[in-house]
Amino acid sequence: MARLLVTGGSGFIGRAVCSLAVDRGHEAVSVSRSGAPETGSDDVEWIAADVFEPAEWRGALDGVEAVVHSIGTAEENEGDGITFERLNGDSAILVGEEAARAGVPAMVFVSASVKPPGVDESYLAAKRRAERALAGHPLRSVVLRPGPVHGADQPHFPEAVDTVFRALDSLPGAAALGDARPLSVETVARAALDAALDPDRAGVIDVETMATRYDVD
């Protein structure tokens, strides 16, 4: 049994990672400002903390096998300090530094293959900046680069869009969509957990690899 810390564990992807981890008998600790979501499992330890205040959560890194970082945004709100640079870039770099300092062996960064439609290029630039920074850390770092992610309770786009993504993902020719191929949240969670726990995984895991290796639906 391993202990995992999931930053953004109350979000759409982070919650799926926490659920899968506890289903497989691991210990999962989530860090997010809101703490436990309404339907959050009692088997997950929910810490309510701002990731940019590491003193509030670094104690939870004790004994952690891997951190899965699943914080980010597709919408900036500069008044609230929510920028792509900060959320999609700085947060991952900060978490990587904290994890490395605490002697955590591995970090999985949920990045992205493509920017969402209509979103500024700086969304992806910040992710790539964080990827480069993490590659220079002493810990084993794995970068997941999904495109659009579909699943029940997807909070980011209307249900009809989710249905289209699911249909595209299940087409026999879905591979032709390349980096824009949608993946299920369960596929991404399986990839994240495997990347966290397999000492041989490092570097970038792209959409095609996730679809081939972790889409078992």
Ligand X SMILES: NC(=O)c1ccc[n+]([C@@H]2O[C@H](COP(=O)([O-])OP(=O)(O)OC[C@H]3O[C@@H](n4cnc5c(N)ncnc54)[C@H](OP(=O)(O)O)[C@@H]3O)[C@@H](O)[C@H]2O)c1
The two beta strands, 149-150 and 27-32, are unpaired
Residue 72 contacts ligand X per CB under 6 A: yes
> What's the closest the beta carbon of residue 90 comes to ligand X, in angstroms?
10
**According to the binding rule CB under 6 A, does residue 19 interact with ligand X?**
no
Tell me, residue by residue from 83 to 112, as one string, x for binding to ligand X by CB under 6 A and - for no binding. -----x---------------------x-x
Query: Which DSSP symbol is given to 174?
Result: G
The region of 17-25, 99-107, 145-153, 199-207 touching ligand X under the rule CB under 6 A is: 145-153
Which of 56, 55, 93 shows the shortest CA–CA distance to 71? 93
195: CB partners within 8 A, 6+ apart = 66, 106, 108, 142, 144, 201, 205
Binding residue (CB under 6 A) for ligand X from 67, 143, 149, 195 = 149
Looking at the Cβ atoms of 130 and 199, the one nearer to ligand X is 130
Long-range contact pairs involving 170-175 (C-beta distance under 8 Å, separation at least 24): 174/211, 175/208, 175/211
Residues that bind ligand X (CB under 6 A): 8, 10-14, 31-34, 50-52, 70-72, 88, 110, 112, 146, 148-149, 155-156
